[in-house]
Amino acid sequence: MKFYVFSMLLLLSLPVAAQPGGKMIKGGAGPGLLSNDSVIKKLERIKDSVAKARQIQDSAGVKENISNNMDSFIRLQNEQRDRQKRAAIIRIAIGVALFIVLIIGLRRKTAKKRN
């Protein structure tokens, strides 16, 4: 059964592949599309221009990506600097407050000894 299905498939596929559908280009005997030098040169120029445009577009994308990364890096750096500045101010304020508490405590102690 498998042999018959395989042979039918093989026999049906041969006529489908053998049907003439388009022009056949001969090696160099006639004016073929691919053998014409001006067409080949024009295709090469188009290919080069597309490659150049793509390279310019890719380099512009890379430049934009670098610019965005630098902007975000600078923004993160500024945020970190602001956090450090805020933390330093808080530490200085706590130090000054504790220094004032120390001075007040020492004055009370000396005031009690005099009395």
* pTM for this entry: 0.44
What Cα–Cα distance (Å) separates residue 25 from each residue in 22, 36, 38, 54, 103? 9, 12, 17, 32, 104
Q: What is the pLDDT of residues 76-97, one digit of tens each?
A: 999 999 999 999 999 999 999 9
**Angle subtended at Cα 74 by Cα 64 and Cα 66, rounded to the nearest 5 degrees:** 20
Place of tokens 């994308």: 61
Of the candidates 22, 47, 48, the one whose C-alpha atom is nearest the C-alpha of residue 33 is 22
Q: Is 59 helix (H, G, I), strand (E, B) or coil?
A: helix
Q: What is the pLDDT of residues 22-58, one digit of tens each?
A: 555 555 545 544 557 888 888 888 888 888 888 887 8
Q: How many residues does the chain have?
A: 115
Tokens of 65: 């990506």
